[in-house]
């Protein structure tokens, strides 16, 4: 009796796995398969010039197609997350493709991305906790940009001082490398 149950469970698992493989095959049929060398530019990924700000430049310059501040903040967050996801994916592919010789460097780069994301999230949360409607922080190698929803009378000097204080307490940036942008 127990052998029959074990065989039934094994058969059910086998059928489930086979069904999953079949569905995966159906899904991927017709899609062109690219090799890793076609999709991976290791010089760009592992080079010192990995710059995620290129995707953000259009958004941070105040794209007129965004109608409200809420749209702006949502677009910035989405663009920032997509850039990070792409960078993480490329770093993981590079580490796997390289066979581990640059795995430590890729691991450090991944840790830097995670640390930056956590710092930005902390800064955004603290600025919102200070009474501002919304905020997006974006760290780069040369400084940090903090976009804040404009309060009723616009950003005043004391508002900028509060935001700069939050940034300096949560990051290694000094006052001269902090940019506060008012989003109307």
The answer, as to whether pTM is greater than 0.75, is no
105: closest CA among 46, 50, 52? 46
Q: What is the CA radius of gyration of the chain?
A: 23
Structure tokens at 122: 């902390």
Q: What is the CATH number of the domain that holds 85?
A: 1.10.287.4300
- Give domain status of residue 2, yes or no: no
**Res 184: pLDDT:** 79
Q: What is the distance between the alpha carbons of residues 86 and 42, in angstroms, rounded to a whole number?
A: 14
What is the length of the chain?
Answer: 184
- Give domain status of residue 164, yes or no: yes
- Give domain status of residue 3, yes or no: no
Which DSSP string corresponds to 73-104?
Answer: HHHHHHHHHHHHHHHHHHHHHHHHHHTTTTHH
Question: Which residues neighbour 53 within 8 Å (Cβ) at sequence distance 6 or greater?
Answer: 138, 140
- Give domain status of residue 17, yes or no: no
Q: How far from each other are the two terminal CA atoms of the chain, in whole angstroms? A: 73
Task: Give the domain extent around 125.
Answer: 39-183
Helix (H) or strand (E) segment spanning residue 140: strand 135-140
How many structural domains is the chain composed of?
A: 1
Is-contact 91 106, C-beta < 8 A? Answer: yes
**Res 69: pLDDT:** 66
- Give domain status of residue 22, yes or no: no
Q: What is the distance between the alpha carbons of residues 103 and 95, in angstroms, rounded to a whole number?
A: 5
Cα angle 34, 82, 121; round to 5? 150
**Res 47: pLDDT:** 40
Per-residue confidence in pLDDT tens, the chain, 184 aa: 677 777 888 788 877 877 777 777 776 666 544 443 444 444 444 444 444 444 444 444 444 444 566 677 788 888 888 888 887 777 777 777 666 566 777 777 878 888 888 888 889 889 989 888 888 998 888 899 999 988 888 888 888 999 999 999 988 888 899 999 888 7
- Give domain status of residue 4, yes or no: no
Is-contact 73 134, C-beta < 8 A? Answer: yes
């Amino acid at each position: 009796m127990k052998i029959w149950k074990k065989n039934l469970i094994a058969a059910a698992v086998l059928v489930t796995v086979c069904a999953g493989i079949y569905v995966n095959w159906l899904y991927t049929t017709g899609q062109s398969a690219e090799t890793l060398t076609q999709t991976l530019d290791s010089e760009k990924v592992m080079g010192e010039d990995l710059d995620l700000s290129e995707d953000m430049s259009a958004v941070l310059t105040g794209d007129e197609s965004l109608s409200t501040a809420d749209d702006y903040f949502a677009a910035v967050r989405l663009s920032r997350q997509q850039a990070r996801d792409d960078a993480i994916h490329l770093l993981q592919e590079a580490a796997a493709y390289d066979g581990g010789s640059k795995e430590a460097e890729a691991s450090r780069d991944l840790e830097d991305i995670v640390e930056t994301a956590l710092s930005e999230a902390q800064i955004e949360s603290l600025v919102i906790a200070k009474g501002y409607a919304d905020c997006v922080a974006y760290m780069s190698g040369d400084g940090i940009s903090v976009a804040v929803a404009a309060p009723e009378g616009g950003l005043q000097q004391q508002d900028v001082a509060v935001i700069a204080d939050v940034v300096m307490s949560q990051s290694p940036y000094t006052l001269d490398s902090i940019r506060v942008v008012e989003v109307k």
